[in-house]
Structure 1
């Protein structure tokens, strides 16, 4: 979150912007459409400050670094997950962030199970060796 705090007047001005979903005293939540638009504008060669200014944001209110830091996050999300990622919540209780186990093929499930078995077997071997070392230490003392 930003160190900048917005007063009531600034919050009302920001909320009037169609590219803003919601505003609190310390954070701005942008619409998914604006995020996609901003990333695509950036890809055409426009700078973060220019993109935000053209879309009705006063950089003196939101902070000079806000445009570039937000755009950097959005570009990463866009590159990794595509446009759809901006329309789904990936944080909190209702997130769909972690891939579902149901979507795995039978081969992948078997592969995961075999890896888990191998891990557990190695763990058992380690515990057996540890117990043996403890027994030897007791005999010596």
Structure 2
């Protein structure tokens, strides 16, 4: 999360930029098309500051570090996933999303169910012991 806080005037100015998808007090979400274009221009030799300035961003507002770090992150994404990496949602570091239950074999489902049953049985035993201890404590007083 950025240490920069955007004021209302700065947020309005950034919202007018066609390369911005959304903006909050601390974060700018850029459009995928801009990210792809920026990475390709960077690979051809343009610097992050130059790319952002040419695309209508005021580096006084967003900061030079933000431009550099964003482009660095986008290059990694581009290297790993290509253009498709910017077009699909992939939140979280190295995330592949929640595993689909459709792809799970019946053996895995059974294994998971047995583990859950074992956990719930242990939980029930613990609750029974706790109730017994509470009853004993009440009898003593």
Give 3-state SS (helix, strand or coil) of 1:29's partner. Answer: strand
SS in 2 for 1:21: strand
CA–CA separation in structure 1 for the residues paired with 2:19 and 2:60: 17
Change (3 A) 1:99 1:78: farther
Residue 88 of structure 1 contacts residue 96 of structure 1 at CA under 8 Å; is this kept in 2?
no
Cα deviation per residue 1:68-97 (whole Å; 9 max; x = unaligned)?
Answer: 1000000000000110111111127xx853
Q: Does the 8 A contact of 1:4 with 1:26 survive in 2?
A: yes
Work out the number of aligned pairs and report it. 104
Q: Partner of 2:88 in structure 1?
A: 88
Q: 1: CA distance between counterparts of 2:35 and 2:78?
A: 9
| Partner residue, 2:57 | 57
Unaligned stretches of 5+ in structure 1?
104-108, 114-141
2:5 is matched with which residue?
5
> In structure 2, what is the Cα distance between the partners aligned to 1:99 and 1:56?
40
Q: Distance in 1 between matches of 2:91 and 2:85?
A: 12
Q: Give 1:98 deviation, angstroms.
A: 5.8
- How large is the RMSD of aligned CA atoms in angstroms? 2.3
Unaligned residue ranges in structure 2 (runs of 5+): 109-141
Query: Do the aligned residues in 2 keep the contact of 1:19 with 1:31 (CA within 8 Å)?
Result: yes
Structure 1 runs of 4+ aligned residues shifted over 3 Å read: 95-103
CA distance in structure 2 between the aligned counterparts of 1:48 and 1:68, rounded to whole angstroms: 5
TM-score, normalised to structure 1's length?
A: 0.66
1:30 matched residue in structure 2: 30
State how far apart, in whole Å, the 2-side matches of 1:13 and 1:26 are. Answer: 14
